[in-house]
Structure 1
């Protein structure tokens, strides 16, 4: 037998179908646990496409007109969204959970504590760490002062694994199943992040994204 380092050719149509299947299954899993999902724009070359005629947004954004009205846990609607296109999976925030989004310099030390987080943690390929927590708790002062810390509450969203960005896929650092789909006390997670703040550089690197609209700009 002759060995080779060449990768086998996979037809683009098969890759597209595999992506759609993986994304659809993830969306159905989230919805099955009561986390409302919605389709996001999908990568089309170097930009995101949502399938809506004339949409000028090139970054990651919802593929529906009203995210709040469209997000659902209904299995039929979820399956239909991923029937033809490999949409990113968006999770709406502020209802089932909030998300604390921070740079790696704050997120990695907190996630390394593991048991202290006791909740799902995702990370983007660009190095943004996302901590899912129980909803309703505002940012404590030392986190609110940093421009690179975002609390996603009502009327916001995050891309959930295995969604793809231009930099690469979103992935779980701590999966929901590892913590039995439970969400931690937000004050406890914020305390761990605040400890990281006290050891981190004072000047933020990534500007704050204040809203879904600004995220999509």
Structure 2
């Protein structure tokens, strides 16, 4: 049952142009990739999947979804900056939160925010074809279950185009 839900969610992402990959998430010192040395979530093979047929052929039980950042950038911010930025952006930006770490993730058009602007505030930029983030709904032991605050369907599956709130909120 869970495998069907994860597969359906992965298909929803690719149907809207958001490439995915299979994500192995270790739980209780066991990893679905079958290696005993895994500690952190990792891509199973790093192969981008961008069609529903690709998802149907590739997915198997035990794997979560990684969103590949080839079509958008993701910035992760600590709560002190993420919460006010979310308040400013309201429903214009796909936004997720990891509850245990209180890290906010904002999905933006590529090259919207330079990494140098994030460094002073403890932010991280995920960008380019080799970067990824766990899709909201994914549970990891360090972060808990990441969830959407503003799901992408509310923004018509478009990442946010940077505007003034970033300059205001991200001042160190």
Please tell me the TM-score bracket, short chain as reference.
0.7 to 0.9
- Segments of 5+ residues of structure 1 without an aligned counterpart are 1-16, 199-217
Among residues 33, 48, 52, which one is paired with 2:16 in the alignment? 33
In structure 2, what is the equivalent of residue 23 of structure 1? 6
Map of 1:90 onto structure 2 = 66
> Cα 1:98–1:140, aligned 2, differ >3 Å: closer, same or farther?
closer
Once the 2 structures are TM-superposed, how far is the Cα of residue 91 of structure 1 from its aligned partner? 0.7
Question: Is the contact between residue 39 and residue 87 of structure 1 (CA under 8 Å) also seen in structure 2?
Answer: yes
Question: Which has the larger strand fraction?
Answer: 2
Matched, 1:79 2:56: yes
- Compute the displacement of 1:192 (Å): 4.6
Tell me which residue corresponds to 1:208: none
Q: Which has the larger radius of gyration?
A: 1
Q: 94, 101, 111: which is aligned to 1:136?
A: 111
What TM-score do the two structures reach when normalised by structure 2?
0.86
Cα deviation, residue 178, structure 1: 1.1
Root-mean-square deviation (CA), in Å?
Answer: 2.2
- Structure 1 residue ranges, 4+ long, deviating more than 6 angstroms after superposition: none
Q: Residue 71 of structure 1: SS of its match in structure 2?
A: coil
Of the candidates 25, 37, 40, which is equivalent to residue 42 of structure 1? 25
Q: TM-score, normalised by structure 1?
A: 0.69
User: Does residue 1:172 correspond to 2:148, yes or no?
Assistant: yes
Partner of 2:133: 158
Structure 1 residue 33, shift from structure 2 partner: 0.5
